[in-house]
Amino acid sequence: MERIWRREGLKVPKKQKARGRLWLNDGSCVRLRPTHSNHVWSYDFVSARTHDGRSVRILNLIDEDSRECLLIRAERRWSSAKVIGALADVMVSKGVPEHIRSDNGPEFVAKDLRKWLADTGAKTLYIEPGSPWENGYCESFNSKLRDDFLNGEIFYSIKELRVMAERWRVHYNTVRPHSSLGYKPPAPEAWLASTSKGHGEVETASRFPLLHTPDGAYLNSEINALH
C-alpha cells in the first residue's frame, strides 16, 4: 500500500503510536454516564452565518440524562466571561450540576471559568483531544440543531437568529419526540390529569360558580346589593 502511495506521488501517512484506551463491552469509550437530572451537563459550540456572511458561534448546553436543551445562545464572539454568564443564567433556574462535560476549547479550559465552576461545586469533565464521540450527547444534539433548524433558515441579523433559536429550543424540549425517551419530548408541557376519581365523582364534582341565575339575577347577595 505504501509503495502505491509513493508511486502516485501521495504523501505516505506516518504510523501513529497506538494509544491505550478503556472500552466497554458495547464498544463505547469509558466515561461518566448520567444517571439523573443535573448529574452531567455538556456544552459545545456550533458555527453558523448570518445573511451578510458574518460568522456566529452558538453555545449549546444540554442535560445528558433528560436530553433537555438548557440553553442556545448566539454571539459573534465568545469569551470565558460570556460563557460564565450563560452558565450562571441557567444555574439560577435549573440549579448547579454535579459535572459538566466539554472539549478542550480555549473558552472551556480558561482558568477563570474553571475556578468559577469549582466555586459553584460543579466538576469539569474534559474529553480527549480529537475525540468528539466522547461528548456524544452534545454532538448528537448539534447535528439535530443543524439539520432541523440552521440548514433550513436564513438569518438577516443575529437578533433574528437568537429569537428563532429560542423558539426552536422550546419546540425541541416540549414537542419534538426523542427516540431514546420512548419518542417523548425531553420536557413536555402538559397537565397531569387526576385518575383517582371514578366516573360518578367526576360527574358530581363542583363546577365553576355561576354569578347569576338564568333570569339575570345575581346569586351573590353582595353583588346583588350593588345593583
CATH class of 30-181: alpha beta
Please report, for residues 11, 127, 136, 169, 215, the alpha-carbon distance to residue 72 in angstroms, rounded to integers and kept in the order given. Answer: 42, 21, 17, 7, 56
Sequence ranges of the domains in the chain: 30-181
For the segment 176-225, what is each residue's pLDDT rounded down to a tens digit? 888 878 888 888 876 555 555 554 454 444 444 444 444 545 445 444 44
Q: Which residue has the higher pLDDT, 214 or 16?
A: 16
Instruction: Please give the average per-residue pLDDT across 146-160, as a whole number.
Output: 95
Instruction: Please give the average per-residue pLDDT across 26-50, as a whole number.
Output: 82
Instruction: Please give the average per-residue pLDDT across 20-26, as a whole number.
Output: 45
**CB distance 58 to 149 below 8 Å:** no
pTM of the model: 0.69
